[in-house]
Structure 1
Amino acid sequence: MNEKVENLILEHLRAIRSDIAKLSDKVDNLVASDLSTKQHMAGFMGQESVQDVRLSQMDIRLERIERRLELADLK
């Protein structure tokens, strides 16, 4: 094969390798960003669970107060 052709092929292969390395870095960044987003969502869901428990406790306390003050509708 002609030396110019070989050099041209090598040059293209190096460019392709460089492009693939850049894409690999971008994918790594996207994966890290996705993981961070999932961790934030897990935090939000955990906080929502805590709020649900607190609301349930407040509802129970309110019902107890209404019964003591005879404000609750008879069921």
Structure 2
Amino acid sequence: MTADIESLVLEHLRAMRGDIADIKQRLDRMDLRMSVMEQTLGGLYALSASDRETLQTVIHRVERIERRLELTDH
């Protein structure tokens, strides 16, 4: 009976080891995906900042044109 119990325990331990290996692989894939998402988000932030800068430049130019043409109430 002791041999049967040891065999059963070893079987469960092997199953647990396999499950842990599967979980580790999934976590590794999730870590990779998270890194890609972080890089993408960083790129989007950079583009957003660039767009804001471009928009501010356009706004300043339009305001200057309005002042020169005396189209503003200022």
* Structure-1-length-normalised TM-score: 0.90
Q: Give how far 1:57 is off.
A: 0.4
Runs of 4+ residues over 3 Å off in structure 1: none
Q: Single out whichever of 30-39 and 54-63 deviates more from structure 2.
A: 30-39
- Structure 1: state its 5+ residue gaps: none
Over aligned residues, Cα RMSD in angstroms? 1.2
- Aligned match of 1:44: 44
Q: Give how far 1:30 is off.
A: 1.2
Q: Single out whichever of 1-10 and 57-66 deviates more from structure 2.
A: 1-10
Q: Give how far 1:69 is off.
A: 0.9
Distance, in Å, in 2 between the alignment partners of 1:19 and 1:8 is: 16
- Aligned match of 2:68: 68
User: Aligned with 1:34: secondary structure?
Assistant: helix
* Structure-2-length-normalised TM-score: 0.91
Distance, in Å, in 2 between the alignment partners of 1:68 and 1:9 is: 87
Letter in 2 for 1:58: V
Q: Give how far 1:73 is off.
A: 1.4
Distance, in Å, in 1 between the alignment partners of 2:2 and 2:68 is: 99
Q: Single out whichever of 50-59 and 64-73 deviates more from structure 2.
A: 64-73
- Aligned match of 2:17: 17
Choose between structure 1 and 2 for higher RCO, CA contacts under 8 A separated by at least 6 residues: 1
User: Aligned with 2:60: secondary structure?
Assistant: helix
